Structure 1
Amino acid sequence: MKSPYIAKRYWNSIATPMGESSSILGKYSDLINFSLGDPDITTDKRIIEKAFQDALNGHTHYTDFFGVKELREAVCEYYDEEYNYHVVKEECMITTSGCHAMWLALEAILDDGDEVIIPSPYFTPYPQQVKLARGKPVFLETFEEEGFQLNTDRLEKLITNRTKAIIVNTPNNPTGTCLTKETLVQISEIAKKYDLLVIADDIYTIFSYEEPFMPITTIEDMKERTITIGSFSKDYAMTGWRIGYILAPSYMINIIKDINENNVFTAPSISQQAALHAIKMRKEIQPPMVKEFKSRTFAAYERLEQLKNVSILPPKGTFYLFPNIKATGLTSEEVTNRILEEAHVLVLPGTSFGDNGEGYIRIAATVGKDKINEAFDRIEKMEIFR
């Protein structure tokens, strides 16, 4: 919108299908929503009850600017127990969500015009987050025929004197792929060769179905050049609590803390208490969640395999599926609109996640299997899939 009261850099701002999806939810009374990655599972009752009691006991004030000390220590203990990786609380800061953590990290490291390499398809906000920090997004396309792995030869060709960082997101949104250990090691070697930072957007760590998740920061000599973004949203079904964290060298954490002081001051105290309880109870809370979402994801995968004009790779991680619909002869947006209008099912076009998402749609298996089957019972009746 052009207006003298709006900053010129936003005059050509275009809402994404992801951002606009909420406005469609009331269009049909029987709509089945496969659009956003918001688990339908409510945060574990024990976490809610403990956080509620914390509020009654007075945890309603500002916290330490780095975050609640006990929570930071618990995050450090988690990495030690799960990955045999030593990190101290001075290298950890609690943030208001993983998205906020990403912006804080970019704001801390980028000078005007610095380049950040973003593998594509990508989580929708990445490019704009880079631009908000005055950087320049550079896209590294990944391809279905390569399992959406990062091709490090193509990665190396994108590096210039202005390249500052590479974003790595595994398990991946939107493709559902998991980068192999070999790929992560190759990325690490390139980062060290060109003295680059890696921003590891580690949001779906428990949803790695074939191999245990391995943080890239645990690779030899990567701790000093990795900024790890963590979140409680997906791994603990706590999207609405808006709580995440950053792991980075202590000097960088100090800068990020100073930036955040002028942004949101501190993360919400109650959300931090809830996160503390969650991480302590993870061995009870997470296994049933992983079992449920894996079951849903493979149920949707099996139904997709039965559709004409659709191809899809077997799920590797997350609860997202990224089916190829090129054989329909329609664009991603056309297929998305027809599924909405004819089947009353809301999915997102692949172009929401980058130009090379054309020819794909994204499905978030965040509803129960009964709803998944109902959705595909409708979809399979559509002419383009018969």
Structure 2
Amino acid sequence: MKYSSLVERLQGKRTSAWEIHHAAQQARARGEDVIVLSVGDPDFATPEVIVERAVEALRSGDTHYSAVVGRDPLRAAIAAEHARTTGRATAIENVMLCAGAQNGIFAASLCLCEAGDEVIVPEPMYLTYEACVRASGATLVPVPVDAKRAFHLDCDALEAAITPRTKAIFFATPCNPTGVVMPRADLERIAQLALRHDLWVLSDEVYADLTFEREHVSIASFDGMAGRTVTIASLSKSHAMAGWRVGWVIGPQALIGHLGRLALSMLYGLPGFIQEAALTAFEHKAEIVAGMRDVYRRRREVVYERLSRVAGLRCLLPEAGMFMMVDVSGTGLDTVDFTWQLFRAQGVSVLDASAFGETANGFVRLGFVVDEARLAEACDRIAAFVSSLQLQTRSG
């Protein structure tokens, strides 16, 4: 039997990068002593106040269909938060809920792009961007971001990538995997290019609440950008709600209408009890997010302090989020061999960052997703593994 060409467009190196993570999960399920740092799903549970609201809603019978684009109270809370961060009025008609940020990116790609279009994306990029763009029939055009600049964008290179076929620029700030927060000057340059060339901008802001030193700025806040910016966000990281699949898209009202018709054909809205829990998450956002940010900052310091002194490794201090990029090229192993040999020797799983783009070749991505003691142990195991490689080299 034959399948649609769509399935070919959805697969590739980026979407098959999770093999080591799946192997680590299976080893943990067998009772083996493994430390899984290969996915952005933290160890702590969703805050109790959010869980209790979901349970209460379930017990009260909130198990029926809900509005496809989301309930108005939750959309209003999202709109109000967006207005606060951008300084621009946002109506609920500009907001649609989706099953996690990734679902929003996929749906927006289908509504914005088509065959013959080009979409510019700074690389390294999140793993599934390519599949989302290619599903629409468009071509993804990666713009390499130099590791020597700590993976900060080269705006000149981005401008040089624009052609008459360019339809959109997609990016994440803060970025997964690099932890880079785009400075205002870079965002202003992108906004100028979008206005000059009449481009859409998709801004993935899932980690916006988890910045450390540099302030997050939304490109939708710039003059002329609200009508051409699609902002994607979720509660997965900021509220430890990855499994709840609560995300949203903010954009022009016409786009929300198109997205709503697509959701009608695919998902038919988020469960009501989950939306009630999400509304509670917004009501308690200030204290929850502050706590999450402090946790990740402490974990970042644990990893950086321990691994930056290991000969053969070079750590890039992330400006946001729950990941660190570590250059392992000094060990003499390529990243595929490094990740699998580390896992087999020490039971620590990290992700080969070259899957996020060739510009990340030589790096692995490590997640701050276990408690500080366990994270310190993981770092010690990594250090022991690197030391063993050096001993092998000297003895050879």
- Relative to the length of structure 1, the TM-score reads 0.95
Which residue in 2 is equivalent to 1:155? 158
- Contact conserved, 1:181 with 1:214, CA < 8 A, in 2? yes
- Quote the RMSD (CA, aligned, Å): 1.6
Matches within 5 A, 1:145-294: 145-294=148-297
Q: 1:336 to 1:178 in 2, by over 3 A?
A: same
Deviations along 1:285-306, whole A, 9 cap, x unmatched? 1111110111101211111201
Equivalent position SS for 2:230:
strand
1:15-94 matches, cutoff 5 A: 15-18=15-18, 21-27=21-27, 29-94=32-97
Structure 2 counterpart of 1:338, which letter?
Answer: Q
Worse-matched range after superposition: 196-205 or 298-307 = 298-307
Residue 4 of structure 2 corresponds to residue 7 of structure 1: yes
Q: Is the 8 A contact 1:174 1:321 kept in 2?
A: yes
Flag structure 1 segments of 5+ consecutive residues without an equivalent: none
Q: Deviations over 1:246-301 (max 9, x none)?
A: 00010111111111111111122222111111011101211111101111012111
Answer yes or no: is 1:349 the counterpart of 2:352: yes
CA contact (8 A) 1:208 1:316 kept: yes
Deviation at 1:371, TM superposition (A): 0.6
Q: In the TM superposition, what whole-angstrom CA distance separates every residue of 1:298-349 from its partner, at most 9, and x where no partner exists?
A: 2111112011111122221111101111122221111111211111100001
2:307 is matched with: 304
Identity in percent: 28
**Aligned to 1:127, which of 124, 127, 130?**
130
Distance 1:222 1:19 in 2: 39
Question: What runs of 5+ residues in structure 2 fail to find an aligned partner?
Answer: 392-396
Which moves more between the two structures, 320-329 or 246-255? 320-329
- How far apart are residue 80 of structure 1 and its match? 2.9
| Change in CA separation of 1:385 and 1:276 when aligned onto 2, cut-off 3 Å | farther
Selected match of 1:384 from 385, 389, 395? 389
Q: Residues 195-225 of structure 1: CA distance to partner in whole angstroms, max 9, x if unpaired?
A: 1111000100111111221111111211111
Residue in structure 2 matching 1:359, options 359, 362, 371? 362
Partner Cα separation in structure 2 for residue 165 and residue 71 of structure 1: 28
Contact 1:18 1:352 survives alignment (8 Å): no
How far residue 110 of structure 1 moved from its aligned partner, in angstroms, is: 0.8
Kept after mapping to 2: 8 A contact 1:301/1:315: no
Q: Verify the 8 A CA contact 1:310 1:385 in the aligned structure 2.
A: no
Equivalent pairs counted in the alignment come to: 383
- How far the C-alpha of 1:164 sits from its partner, in A, is 0.7
TM-score (norm: length of structure 2): 0.93
Q: Give the distance between the partners of 1:23 and 1:344, measured in 2 at CA.
A: 10
Give the match for residue 394 of structure 2: none
Q: Could you tell me which residue of structure 1 aligns to residue 340 of structure 2?
A: 337
